[in-house]
Amino acid sequence: MDQMKDMVGKLDMEELLKRQVGAMFSFLASIYGPEKLVLKAGRLDALSGMRSRDLAQQVAALQKIIFEDPTIQAPEGLEAIPGILEECQEEIAERMARQAIEQDIEERVSRRMQERHDEYIQDIRREVLMENGDPETEETRKKLNRLVKLEERSIARSALYYLRPRRLTDIVGQDRAIQALLSKLATPYPQHVILYGPPGVGKTSAARLVLEEARKLSFSPFAKDAPFVEADGATLRWDPREITNPLLGSVHDPIYQGARRDLADIGVPEPKLGLVTEATGGILFIDEIGEMDPILQNKLLKVLEDKRVFFDSSYYDPTDKRVPQYVRRLFEKGAPADFILVGATTRDPEEISPALRSRAAEVFFDALTPQHIAQIVKGAARRLRAKLTPQAVDVITDYTVEGRKAVGLLADAYAVALHRQGGLPERGFLAVEARDVKDAISAGRLSPSVTSKASDKPEVGKVFGLGVASFLGSTLEIEAVAFDAREKGKGSIRMNETAGSMVKDSLFNASTSLRKELGIDLTDKDVHVNIVGGAKVDGPSAGLAITIAIFSAVTGIPVRQDVAVTGEISLKGEVKAIGGVYEKIYGAKQAGMKMILVPKGNSVGVEEVRGIQVGFVSSLKEALDFMCPDWRKAMKSA
CATH of the domain at 398: 1.10.8.60
Whether the predicted pLDDT of 210 surpasses 80: yes
Based on the domain organization, do 72 and 200 belong to the same domain?
no
Based on the domain organization, do 285 and 382 belong to the same domain?
no
Within 8 A by CB and 6+ apart from 174, the residues are: 201, 202, 206, 365, 366
What is the model's pLDDT at position 338? 92
Per-position DSSP letters for 501-522, written without gaps between them:
HHHHHHHHHHHHHHHHHH---G
What is the model's pLDDT at position 157? 61
Based on the domain organization, do 406 and 530 belong to the same domain?
no
Task: Please tell me the number of Cα atoms within 13 Å of 188 on its side-chain side.
Answer: 2
Most confident of 267-271, 312-316, 430-434: 430-434
The dihedrals phi and psi of 215, each to the nearest 5 degrees, come to -60, -25
In a domain, 452, yes or no: no
Q: How far is residue 564's CA from residue 477's CA, in Å, rounded to a whole number?
A: 10
In a domain, 450, yes or no: no
Based on the domain organization, do 66 and 141 belong to the same domain?
yes
Least confident of 10-24, 256-270, 513-527, 601-615: 256-270
The dihedrals phi and psi of 297, each to the nearest 5 degrees, come to -60, -45
What is the model's pLDDT at position 155? 66
Whether the predicted pLDDT of 4 surpasses 50: no
% helix, strand, coil for the chain, step of 5: 50, 15, 35
Q: Give the tens place of pLDDT for each residue, 414-431.
A: 889 888 888 888 788 888
Taking residue 299's Cβ as centre, other Cβ atoms within 10 Å add up to 19
Within 8 A by CB and 6+ apart from 353, the residues are: 294, 297, 298
Strand 270-273 relative to strand 193-196, pairing: unpaired
Active site residue 584: yes
Whether the predicted pLDDT of 51 surpasses 90: no
In a domain, 456, yes or no: no
Whether the predicted pLDDT of 3 surpasses 50: no
Based on the domain organization, do 321 and 413 belong to the same domain?
no
Look at residues 128, 152, 176 and tell me which one is the last residue of a structural domain.
Answer: 152
Look at residues 300, 333, 364 and tell me which one is the last residue of a structural domain.
Answer: 364
In a domain, 277, yes or no: yes
In a domain, 371, yes or no: no
> Considering only CA atoms, which of 368, 428, 426 is closest in space to residue 400?
368
CATH number at residue 351: 3.40.50.300
**H helix runs in 346-447, sequence order:** 354-358, 370-384, 390-399, 403-420, 434-444
> Considering only CA atoms, which of 427, 433, 539, 522 is closest in space to residue 481?
522
Least confident of 56-65, 168-177, 253-262: 253-262
In a domain, 454, yes or no: no
- Which pairs with CB-CB distance under 8 Å and at least 24 residues apart come from 262-265? 263/324, 263/327
274, β-bridge pairs: none
Based on the domain organization, do 186 and 313 belong to the same domain?
yes
Based on the domain organization, do 300 and 383 belong to the same domain?
no
Q: Which domain holds residue 387?
A: 376-444
- Residue 287 pLDDT class (50, 70, 90 cuts): very high
Active site residue 633: no
Whether the predicted pLDDT of 8 surpasses 80: no
Whether the predicted pLDDT of 2 surpasses 50: no
Least confident of 219-223, 293-297, 537-541: 537-541
Based on the domain organization, do 125 and 168 belong to the same domain?
no
Per-position DSSP letters for 253-301, written without gaps between them:
-TTTT---HHHHTTT--EEEE-HHHHTTTSEEEEETGGGS-HHHHHHHH
Contact between residue 611 and residue 589 where contact means Cβ atoms under 8 Å apart? yes
CATH number at residue 563: 3.30.230.10
Q: Is 212 helix (H, G, I), strand (E, B) or coil?
A: helix
Which pTM value belongs to this model? 0.66
Q: Give the tens place of pLDDT for each residue, 337-388.
A: 999 999 999 888 888 889 999 999 999 988 887 888 888 888 888 888 888 8
Based on the domain organization, do 12 and 100 belong to the same domain?
yes
The residue-averaged pLDDT of 244-267 equals 71
Angle between helices 501-518 and 620-627 (to 10 degrees): 90
Say which of 250, 313, 541, 570 is annotated catalytic.
Answer: 541
Say which of 250, 584, 589, 619 is annotated catalytic.
Answer: 584
| Amino acid of residue 565 | V
Question: How many helices and strands (H and E) does the chain possess?
Answer: 23, 20
Greatest distance between any 2 Cα atoms in the chain: 179
The residue-averaged pLDDT of 275-296 equals 91
- The distance from CA 174 to its chain's CA centroid, rounded to whole angstroms, is 21
Based on the domain organization, do 500 and 382 belong to the same domain?
no
Whether the predicted pLDDT of 288 surpasses 80: yes
Based on the domain organization, do 76 and 222 belong to the same domain?
no
What is the model's pLDDT at position 264? 66
How many domains does the structure of the chain reveal?
4
What is the model's pLDDT at position 5? 43
The number of residues making up the chain comes to 638
Look at residues 333, 364, 395 and tell me which one is the last residue of a structural domain.
Answer: 364
Higher pLDDT, 265 or 59: 59
In a domain, 493, yes or no: yes
In a domain, 199, yes or no: yes
Q: Give just the sign of the alpha carbon dihedral 453, 455, 461, 466.
A: positive
Based on the domain organization, do 252 and 145 belong to the same domain?
no
Give the C-alpha distances (Å, rounded to integers) separating 154 from 151, 161, 383, 414: 7, 15, 21, 22
Of all residues in the chain, the percent with pLDDT exceeding 90 is 16
Q: Give the tens place of pLDDT for each residue, 290-329.
A: 888 888 888 899 999 999 999 888 878 888 888 888 888 8
